[in-house]
Amino acid sequence: MLGQLHDVDLQLLRLFIGVVESKGFSAAQGELGLSQSSISQQMAKLETRLGYRVCNRGKGGFSLTAKGEQLLIAARALFESIETFRHQSNGVAGRLIGEVRLGLSEALDQSVLQRVAEAIRRFRERDESVRIELISAMPGEMERLLLQQKLDLAIGYFSQVQNAFDYRQLFSETQHLYCAPGHPLFTDDAPDDAALQACDPVDHPYRFLRSDEPFQGKASSARSEQVEGTLAFILSGKHVGYLPSHFARSWQDKGLLRSVREGELSFEVAFHLARHRAQVPGDAQKAFEEDLLNAFT
């Protein structure tokens, strides 16, 4: 009785199938490239390993025993399974598998989303079986998720002071200072510095971003992390605040927003692709990062 299958057992089983398909020892010589005596010895060895006779041979000709018939079915199924495994394992060798988790900043421009979509398209054209997760979050939250290695990559505006991260700049976004109907600046074509300093600006928690803003107003009574919250404060007519120009455009076209001293009080925000240096990326993460960088080139 066979305990564990070894290479020699597989060789003997292949010889057994060859003999059966040739309908006997004599006819199998040419097919197997072995002498009849050698085939006979190998078959006897197989029967010893199994502990039972698999065939009748002699003057009555070659025929399988009942157990030999069962062995033939099992042996053919075994080699079919081995071939299936070989094809599947070879396929996996060159295939990208696993998961890619990408963090995205809020309110991204349409052109940016199209580039992300282009990266996804390129990646999906690879030989892959990968789950992609897109997570929208604020910069501070994305940095926290990167540090916890719950994100593989993140696109956003970051402080760039995290030594644990690698940063690659992808694009920049223009921010203008806006006001809305009802605010004193809305009807003032050229407000002076005194008029500006009398305004109540919308504050946000990202000091690294605020330090780049040309307009540094007095202490604020309005605070929001999200672009939508900032917009709501501005639309009230009681506050001024910075918004991405692409986000504000449709509201400006409707006459519900007006930029204040555009150009002079505008500034650029750099967006980067960030990843944790200590997180060793897998093949799928490396390929997706490559496709992202190419999409933004």
What does the pLDDT look like over 20-69, one tens digit per residue?
A: 999 888 888 888 888 989 999 999 999 999 999 999 887 778 899 999 99
Q: What is the mean pLDDT of the chain?
A: 91
Residue 220 or 206, more confident = 220
Evaluate the CA torsion angle 200, 202, 204, 210 in order and state its sign: negative
d(CA 267, CA 283) in angstroms, rounded, equals: 38
DSSP character at residue 222: E
- DSSP-derived letter for residue 286 is H
- What SS3 class is residue 203? strand
What does the domain layout of the chain look like in residue ranges?
7-93, 97-170+271-295, 172-269
State the pLDDT at residue 8: 87
Confidence at residue 100, expressed as pLDDT on a 0 to 100 scale: 97
- With beta carbons less than 8 A apart as the criterion, state whether 224 and 204 touch: yes
Which residue's structure tokens are 């990167």? 146
Please spell the DSSP secondary structure of 19-46, one letter per residue: HHHHTSHHHHHHHHT--HHHHHHHHHHH
Q: Domain 7-93 - what CATH class?
A: mainly alpha
Same CATH topology for 7-93 and 172-269? Answer: no
pLDDT score for 91 = 58
Q: pLDDT tens digits for 96-144?
A: 999 999 999 989 999 999 999 999 999 999 999 999 999 999 888 999 9
Asked whether residue 200 carries a pLDDT value surpassing 80, the answer given is: yes
Fold for domain 97-170+271-295? D-Maltodextrin-Binding Protein; domain 2 (3.40.190)
Provide the CATH number for the domain formed by 172-269 in this structure.
3.40.190.290
Q: Give the pLDDT band (50/70/90) at residue 90.
A: low
> From CA 284, how far away is CA 131, in angstroms rounded?
10
DSSP 204: -
Handedness of CA 14, 15, 16, 22 (dihedral sign): positive
pLDDT of residue 293: 96
